[in-house]
Structure 1
Amino acid sequence: MTDHLRALPIGIFDSGIGGLTVLDAIADRLPAEDLLYLGDTARLPYGTKSPETVARYAVQAAQHLVDRGVKMLVIACNTASAHAIPALSAAFPGVDVISVIEPGAAAAVAAAPSGRIGVLATESTVGSGAYVKAIKALAPDADIRQQACSVFVAMAEEGWTAGAAVEAAAHRYLEPILNHGRPKPEALVLGCTHFPLLRPAIAAVAGPEVTLVDSASTAAEAVAGALAAHGLAAGGRRGRVQFMATDSASRFARVATIFLDRPVKPEDVEIVDL
């Protein structure tokens, strides 16, 4: 039975395309694993939906992955991670569910011995308080400063990862966090799966003394740890990646090519109905 489970893919779900940074980090960390990615592109953005609707959409997407046969669910969406984990855990009690928030929070606490932590995220994730809650659970006295950076999402999807416009946006968003009348944060969480694409620009503004915490790479480490703990890691071959979306294979392929820095064709994307 364990051999059968080892051979199953890891299911990765996102409201759209940003979660491809998580997929890329997992593929890099665990190259032998098969990965099954589902982007709910017909119903994005989740950030404008109620928590109840986000939870319902997330369960529907996860059900599709579970029906395909997966050994683990990775919620590569900060909004779904903030609002849907209890519903997902209840709906799929026999499946490990990994979110992007808790691993990122733990890495930020480890990188900030004095407890000064900044969080860059979307407006919905900031409003949910999910990172504050996760960080405070580990470091109750942490000094947390959050900033919503919605324009970063559009820039990443258009492939604007460098240049004057990106630098100006980075300065505008980071200014309230870095110059708050107190010492700079020691760690800065990239709390949206789009933001790793803008990491060089964010790092240049933040400065070398601020550790950037990438929620994609920390989630990949959490996945590796969970697979090892349960003896479910695959091995001995190169894993396969499959893409699914709920709308527009051509747009998915175009943006995926930007995010993964390799060609993705529309025919590589299966359109599914949830």
Structure 2
Amino acid sequence: MRIVLVDSGIGLLSTAAALREARPDADLILSMDPDHMPWGPRSTAEITRRVLAGARAALAEGPDAVVVACNTASVHALEPLRAELEPRIPVVGTVPAVKPAADRGGPFAIWATPATTGSPYQRGLVERFARGTAVTPVACPGLADAVERADSSSVRDAVARAAERTPADTSAVVLGCTHYDLVEEWISAVLGDGVALFTAAGAVAAQTLRRLGAEARPGAPRTGALRVYASGRPAEMPEAALRYPAGALLAAEPVG
């Protein structure tokens, strides 16, 4: 089994790690785009071009599935990518975990990039799954960039600012950017144990296996290889990625 994950940067690590835990025998190809990141401020046409380029760069690997492990990219480029690759290669997107947060009950917040916060896409998710629930959108400027650089000081500052804009009665926070998953423990430490965090990585990994007609086999032999592309070029895992548990987990594998 061979799975490509596409993102502008290391935000894809959390989904890749979830796939690795579910299928230690799967080959994972991480296609990042350091030459053109961040994608958030770019136009829909530009984001679509970058996502298509990231997926195409890894097609020579013969993937069985492609995962768009980025909320912003999924909003803008998922359908064009599906039009190009499906039904030959299933394409899986990333949707913020608004539904499970709403099902839990209680007021919740959605932390996301400024580009995603207040977007018609996010408003549509809230309207569809959380109607009648108090939902606070919280833009987190600079947080994804700080995570990408593994800049702990800037991460703490951005998390603190977001926490200040999160109502005191918030019972849960949806992490609406895959980069935020990498600092989940830091966010929990600021918000407190009483605030549940919802991420999409596990659900995306499970959906990928479903699209492949495969089951999770966490006890399978750890034979899956790891390959990395940087804006279309074969590369090594970014040094910043190794600062996070998900990156360290993935790096401790055969590299093909």
TM-score range, shorter chain: 0.7 to 0.9
User: Within the alignment, does 1:113 sit opposite 2:105 as a pair?
Assistant: yes
Per the alignment, residue 76 of structure 2 pairs with: 83
Q: Residue in 1 aligned with 2:131?
A: 140
1:243 Cα offset (Å)? 0.8
- Give the alignment of 1:17-96 within 5 angstroms: 17-94=10-87, 95-96=89-90
**1:261 match:** 248
Query: After the TM superposition, which residues 151-162 of structure 1 pair with which residues of structure 2 at under 5 Å, given as runs?
Result: 151-161=142-152
- TM normalised by structure 2 equals 0.83
User: Partner of 1:272 in structure 2?
Assistant: none
Equivalent in 90, 114, 122 of residue 123 of structure 1: 114
Q: Which amino acid is the alignment partner of residue 207 of structure 1?
A: G
- AA of the residue aligned to 2:248: D
Residues 120, 147 of structure 1: 8 Å contact kept:
yes
Please say if residues 48 and 77 of structure 2, whose CA atoms lie closer than 8 Å, have aligned partners that are also in contact: yes
Report the Cα offset of residue 252 of structure 1.
5.3
Q: Distance in 1 between matches of 2:250 and 2:128?
A: 41
Whether 1:205 aligns to 2:199 is: no
1:213-228 equivalence runs, <5 A: 213-227=198-212
Task: Name which of 156, 172, 177 aligns with 2:161.
Answer: 172
Tell me the secondary structure at the aligned position of residue 124 of structure 1: coil
Matched position secondary structure for 2:198:
strand
Deviations 1:14-64 (A, max 9, x none): 112221222122212221211111001111111121012111221232233
Q: Secondary structure at the match of 2:165?
A: helix
Taking only the aligned residue pairs, the percentage that are identical comes to 27
Structure 1 distance, partners of 2:233, 2:163, is: 34
Inter-partner Cα distance in structure 1 for 2:43 and 2:99: 27
Unaligned 5+ residue runs, structure 1? 1-6, 270-274
Q: Distance between the aligned counterparts of 2:248 and 2:130, measured in 1? A: 37
- 1:189 maps to which of 174, 195, 198: 174
Tell me the TM-score normalized by structure 1. 0.78
Deviation at 1:250, TM superposition (A): 7.8
Corresponding residue for residue 99 of structure 1: 93
Paired amino acid for 1:174: A
Name the SS of the counterpart of 2:40 in structure 1: helix
Q: Residues 125-184 of structure 1, C-alpha deviation per residue, up to 9 Å, x if partnerless?
A: 2243433323432333333211121322233233344x7x654432321222224xxx32
* Separation of aligned partners in 1, 2:236 and 2:126: 35
Q: Which amino acid aligns with 1:128?
A: S
Q: Which residue does 1:4 correspond to in 2?
A: none
Deviations 1:74-133 (A, max 9, x none): 10112101111121222222132212215x2333233x324x231111111224343332
d(CA) in 1 for partners of 2:236 and 2:65?
27
**3-state secondary structure, aligned to 1:46:** coil
Local SS of the residue matching 1:74: strand
Cα RMSD (Å): 2.9
Unaligned segments of structure 2, at least 5 residues? none
In 1, Cα distance between equivalents of 2:155 and 2:13: 21
- In structure 1, the residue corresponding to 2:110 is in which secondary structure? strand
The AA in structure 1 aligned to 2:179 is H
CA distance in 1, matches of 2:52, 2:4: 13
Change (3 A) 1:240 1:194: same
Distance 1:107-1:223 versus aligned 2 partners, 3 A rule: farther
Three-state SS of the structure 1 residue aligned to 2:11 is: coil
Cα distance change, pair 97–255 in 1 and its aligned pair in 2 (3 A): same
- Give the aligned residue type for 2:18: A
Q: Deviations over 1:200-244 (max 9, x none)?
A: 2211222222210122233223323433xx247789532111111
Q: How many residues in Structure 1 have an aligned counterpart in Structure 2?
A: 249
- Relative to structure 1, the CA distance from residue 67 to residue 138 in structure 2 (aligned partners, 3 Å threshold; closer, same or farther) is farther
